Structure 1
Amino acid sequence: MIPASAFSGKKVHVFGLGGSGIATAQALVEGGATVLAWDDNPESVARAKAEGIATGDLRDADWNGVGTLVLAPGVPLTHPRPHWSVELAQAAGAEIIGDIELFVRERRAHASDAPFIAVTGTNGKSTTTALIAHVLVSAGRDTQMGGNIGRAVLTLDPPLSERHYVVECSSYQIDLAPTLDPSAGILLNLSPDHLDRHGDIDRYAAIKARLVAGSRTAIIGVDDEYCAGIADRLERDGVKVERISAAGPLDNGFFADSTILMRAIDGQAEPVVSIEGIGSLRGRHNAQNALAGLAAALDCGLSATEIQAGFAGFPGLEHRMEQVGRKAHVLFINDSKATNADAAAPALSSFGRIYWIAGGLPKQGGIESLRPLFPRIAKAYLVGEAAPAFAATLGEATAYEISGTIEAAVEHASRDAAQDAGSEAVVLLSPACASFDQFRNFEVRGEAFRKAVLALPGVEAIRGKDT
């Protein structure tokens, strides 16, 4: 745990007592603060009490002398309207921050030279965060990973000069971190998201831009107009900007030439590393993630040889184009995290002969937007409530069956893929649907797929091996 020593002797209120909220309260207490915590959920309050945290309804609390409200990132700060705890803090003149802000203050106070890589973007930030941490660990660096992925940031080990931090930051967390100052900040991409919490795309983009604006080195994907504009503006303001592009060559920065990652300086480009044959980094979206990882690792002083070795051993994330197993020429991929059509598109774009398992609780729009990718689908195996609607959309565009369950779909897809004459056939779970009609969440759905695949005779498990 990282004690929040900057708040020693101060009165702090905490609202939001999920996993990160309880960790935040404990870090404040450990750092010597006087803490009062609350949540709208009585069960969360009870868990905090059981952990020894002082609790009390902040509506009835004394705000005199309270300089700070630490807010959980899931609690509305501005839209659709400020939470009542925010309004109370504003009335009391208290600053409103989150756990990422506590972390950056502790790093500045105790080890300001500790490498700190912060990652954000609408898509790909979890994979990029995990990839960078994996590369650093494989190169022998003392590395801590957390934030919006894995561990709450204040549960990481305390800052030391040689300790590397790789932290995923959501827009909610950035909005609560006014002095965020990573040594390398990564902004992968921007598209409309969470507008109910941020008002409009311009405000959402401005919040994301804060992460790179405060960075020593700003690594920015320039394949969308929002990020390209942010890169240009920051460079004019004197920030060191490293541009990355998976879409085409750059005069300066890092770009992907098929599976070769290139670095260009004043129009002269040279290859640095390759992602050829690395299954966990397949697809254009993963090329962007790898480019960000390359730029960040170089910024930390790693060699191209160390980075190549780290990329080669990266297993990928569970439920995100996760390679589960292989049987002869048939590869089994778990992309259960794809809970809508847009999220399923990267996986469908990454393979040539696909035996597609799709369906669940349908989202608005269905799979019509995926029609350009239907020629890649050898056959679809439809499950859950969405099966009839998906069948109607597929029509005569591709063969399909209504399998009903994940288990039946895996059995039938495996049988058909084994007879495919191509060099590689892929049984892909990328549902383009929520899971709640049959499963508690997408993780449980992905586990059901993995279990069914590994129960097939002759399947060799992949996850955990170098790929």
Structure 2
Amino acid sequence: MIPVSTLAGKHVAVVGLGGSGLPTAHALQAAGAAVVGWDDGEGARGKAQAAGIAIENLERADWSGFAALVLAPGVPLTHPAPHWSVLRAREAGVAITGDVDLFFQERAAHCPQAPVLAITGTNGKSTTTALAAHAMQAMGVDTAMGGNIGVPVLELPMPQPHRHYVIECSSYQIDLSAHLAPTVGVHLNLSEDHLARHGTMENYSAIKKRLVAAADHAVVGVDDLLSARMADELARDGHSVSRISAAHTVHDGVYAVGSSIWLARDGAQDELFDVGGVASLKGEHNAQNVCAVVAALLKLGMDPTELGDAIRSFPGLAHRMEPVTTYRRISFVNDSKATNADAAARALGSYDRIYWIAGGQAKSDGIDSLNGFFAQIVKTYLVGDAQDRFAATLEGNVPYVRAETVERAVAMAADDALTDGLESACVLLSPACASWDQFTSFEARGDAFKRAVHTFVEEHRAR
């Protein structure tokens, strides 16, 4: 744990007591802050109270004595409307912050030389974060990984000069952070997502840009127009920038030619290594992730001769193009983390003869942009709230059925794949949707898919 000494002895409100909010409250208490918590959910309040957090209805509280409001990332700061706690804090002149912001304040106060690699982007940030941490650990570097992936950032070990932090940062977390100062900041890509929270693509892009603009060195993907523009703006403003691409060469940075990774530096173009044949790094999107890790780790002083072996040993990330099993020429792949169309495109482009499970709580972009992959889809199995919307897009283009649930979709898709008798096929969960209509998280959805796959295979073998 990283006790939040910068608020020691202060009266602090914490709103949102879920996955990161509760650890944040404990980190504040550990340094002597007087913490009062609130969550709009009764269950979260009860859990926090049982864990020793004082609960008070802050909507009716006197805010004049609070030094800070620590807001959980999932609580709206601006859109679609500020949460009532945000309005109360602003009325009282109370600073609003978040867990990532507190992490950077603690690092600045106690060990500013501790290297921090902070990673954001619409898609690929979890894989890139996990890959960077894995590669550093494989090279013997003391590495702590957390943030929007796995361990909440304030539950990581205390900053030390030799300890490297790899932090995944969501746009929600960046929006709550006024003290960002990573050693290397990575921005991978931008596509339409989270607009209900940020309002416009321009605002969403500006929030992402804050992370790399605050870094000593910026690594920026240039395979989409908004991100390429971001890299140009940063360079124009005097920032140190490495560009990365999985689609074309760059003059100063890292790029991929197929599965081969190249370094462009000082006018030279050098092939570093190849990730061909590494199942966990399949696809163009993973080539971009590898390029980001290489560019970032070189800036952190890692030995380029060790990078290839360290990266190639990456086992993959759960719920992101995760192989579950293969049964009678059918591969079952869990890509539950694909919560928007752009993320789903990365999986659809990596497999042939797909029995596609899609749907959930639709985001604003829908699946119209995926029509270039329809020829690879044998049939689609729709689940969740988005069934009618997705059916309208698929009508006349791809055979589909309303399966309602993930469990039914797995059984139907697997039966169809076996009956069709194709030489090889893939039953792919890549929903292009959020999970919140039927599940508490994309992890819970992916786990349900994996259970359903194992149940189907076991029952089929027993016949």
- Tell me, yes or no, if the aligned pair for 1:220 and 1:242 is still in contact at 8 Å: yes
- Tell me, yes or no, if the aligned pair for 1:354 and 1:425 is still in contact at 8 Å: yes
1:100-139 alignment runs, 5 A limit: 100-139=100-139
Name the CA distance, whole Å, in 2 between partners of 1:203 and 1:87: 20
Partner of 2:62: 62
Over residues 183-229 of structure 1, what are the superposed CA-to-partner deviations in whole Å (9 max), with x where a residue is unaligned?
11011112233223223222221111110111011111112222222
For structure 1, the residue ranges without an aligned partner over 5 or more in a row are: 460-467
1:35: how far off? 1.9
- Tell me, yes or no, if the aligned pair for 2:332 and 2:453 is still in contact at 8 Å: yes
Name the CA distance, whole Å, in 2 between partners of 1:281 and 1:436: 28
- Tell me, yes or no, if the aligned pair for 1:357 and 1:427 is still in contact at 8 Å: yes
Partner of 1:43: 43
Aligned in 2, Cα 1:135/1:413: closer, same or farther, shift over 3 Å? farther
1:71: how far off? 1.3
Name the CA distance, whole Å, in 2 between partners of 1:112 and 1:200: 34
Aligned in 2, Cα 1:389/1:208: closer, same or farther, shift over 3 Å? closer
Name the CA distance, whole Å, in 2 between partners of 1:443 and 1:414: 25
1:65: how far off? 4.2
Name the CA distance, whole Å, in 1 between partners of 2:65 and 2:434: 46
Give the percent of matched residue pairs that are identical in Structure 1 and Structure 2.
50
Name the CA distance, whole Å, in 2 between partners of 1:440 and 1:12: 28
Task: Give the one of 408, 411, 414 matched to 1:408.
Answer: 411
Partner of 2:165: 165
Name the CA distance, whole Å, in 1 between partners of 2:302 and 2:254: 16
Over residues 70-117 of structure 1, what are the superposed CA-to-partner deviations in whole Å (9 max), with x where a residue is unaligned?
111122222233222222222222211111111011111222111111
Over residues 118-177 of structure 1, what are the superposed CA-to-partner deviations in whole Å (9 max), with x where a residue is unaligned?
111111111111111111122222211111111111111111111111111111111111
For structure 2, the residue ranges without an aligned partner over 5 or more in a row are: none
Aligned in 2, Cα 1:239/1:433: closer, same or farther, shift over 3 Å? closer
Q: Counterpart of 1:112 in structure 2: which amino acid? A: P
Name the CA distance, whole Å, in 1 between partners of 2:38 and 2:436: 30
- RMSD across aligned positions (CA): 2.9
- Tell me, yes or no, if the aligned pair for 2:222 and 2:231 is still in contact at 8 Å: yes
Name the CA distance, whole Å, in 1 between partners of 2:402 and 2:40: 43
Partner of 2:237: 237
Name the CA distance, whole Å, in 2 between partners of 1:276 and 1:91: 56
Q: Counterpart of 1:322 in structure 2: which amino acid? A: E
Name the CA distance, whole Å, in 1 between partners of 2:274 and 2:177: 35
Q: Counterpart of 1:14 in structure 2: which amino acid? A: V
Q: Counterpart of 1:358 in structure 2: which amino acid? A: I
Aligned in 2, Cα 1:414/1:443: closer, same or farther, shift over 3 Å? farther
- Tell me, yes or no, if the aligned pair for 1:384 and 1:438 is still in contact at 8 Å: no
Partner of 1:314: 314
Aligned in 2, Cα 1:296/1:340: closer, same or farther, shift over 3 Å? closer
Q: Counterpart of 2:268 in structure 1: which amino acid? A: Q
SS at match of 2:174: helix
Q: TM-score, normalised by structure 2?
A: 0.88
SS at match of 1:19: coil
1:19-418 alignment runs, 5 A limit: 19-327=19-327, 330-339=330-339, 341-351=341-351, 353-361=352-360, 363=362, 367-377=367-377, 379-380=378-379, 382=381, 384=383, 405-415=408-418
Name the CA distance, whole Å, in 1 between partners of 2:294 and 2:100: 24
Over residues 395-454 of structure 1, what are the superposed CA-to-partner deviations in whole Å (9 max), with x where a residue is unaligned?
67567777782342353255257x444xx6433233445667876654344334334544
Name the CA distance, whole Å, in 1 between partners of 2:211 and 2:389: 41
Bigger drift between 392-401 and 131-140 goes to 392-401
SS at match of 1:181: coil
Name the CA distance, whole Å, in 2 between partners of 1:42 and 1:412: 42
SS at match of 1:338: coil
Name the CA distance, whole Å, in 1 between partners of 2:197 and 2:387: 32
Aligned in 2, Cα 1:192/1:436: closer, same or farther, shift over 3 Å? closer
1:266: how far off? 4.4
Name the CA distance, whole Å, in 2 between partners of 1:49 and 1:202: 40
SS at match of 2:20: helix
Partner of 1:464: none
SS at match of 2:48: helix
- Tell me, yes or no, if the aligned pair for 1:15 and 1:72 is still in contact at 8 Å: yes
SS at match of 1:220: strand
Q: TM-score, normalised by structure 1?
A: 0.87
